Amino acid sequence: MQRPLIIALDLDDAAKRRALLEQFEGESLYVKVGMELFYREGRQVIQELKEKGHQIFLDLKLHDIPNTVQRTMKELASLDIDIVNVHAAGGKKMMAAAREGLEQGTKAGFDRPFLIAVTQLTSTDEETMRSDLLINRPLSEVVQSYASFAKESGVDGVVCSAKEVPLIHDACGSSFYTVCPGIRRAEDAVGDQKRVVTPQEARELGSWGIVVGRSITSAAEPFNVYQAMKQDWEGSR
């Protein structure tokens, strides 16, 4: 599969979401359905997006006891989604339970959605890790270790900053998926993100996929920004 630029559909009503997607009419996209959208529009939005031919990353970042995560993943597997995620901080047993639930819930003849684990949110930096999470280890070491734990637990890849991709490839191999948010062009507002790179840097660092939200969804001309970022991301490969 071509390495995707995944658009985060973080918009605060259905009309805005539809108006945005109308500008991409005819394009087959990879979109991210996050908590804001799923909690508002539910399972129906997955069907609507699939009918338009889009691939879907369902980003609900599960983090709970293993039994609850397993049962929830079993439910989510009945949706027509391509990627789903958990927080690696839930631990190895929880990640393994997530994978088991997905397998149990995937209907015969269908592909199991990819399971990825968030290592450390891209809105976190080392200072926040120390002061708020009481983790006194270098951030890159924590991300690399969580990626290894995810792999050991049967998870297919991780969410991380592109900055950490080379270290993750060293620990987990280059076929381990790395999905990277915190993507900005030089001229974009960074907002709450801390570990930020451009699409071109993400490509050079070897990311499998990138997630872009506000740079596209808040732009005056979202389709043009999407095309420009996609070109930057794909380069000449």
- CA pair distance 10, 197, nearest whole angstrom: 20
In the window 177-206, what residues touch ligand OMP (CB under 6 A)? Answer: 181-182, 193
Euclidean distance between the first and the last CA atom of the chain, given in angstroms as a whole number = 13
If one asks whether residue 122 binds ligand OMP (CB under 6 A), the answer comes out as yes
Residue 125 designated active-site: no
* Residue 184, annotated as binding a ligand: yes
Our CA angle for 179, 113, 91, nearest 5°, is 65
Q: What's the closest the beta carbon of residue 156 comes to ligand OMP, in angstroms?
A: 14
If one asks whether residue 63 binds ligand OMP (CB under 6 A), the answer comes out as no
Q: Which of 45, 143, 159, 225 lies at the binding interface for ligand OMP (CB under 6 A)?
A: 159
If one asks whether residue 156 binds ligand OMP (CB under 6 A), the answer comes out as no
Cβ closer to ligand OMP: 199 or 213? 213
Q: Which amino acid is at 37?
A: L
Residue 194 designated active-site: no
Active-site position among 16, 50, 52, 61 = 61
Where along the sequence are the contacts to ligand OMP (CB under 6 A)? 8, 10, 32, 34, 59, 61, 85, 118, 121-122, 159, 181-182, 193, 211-215
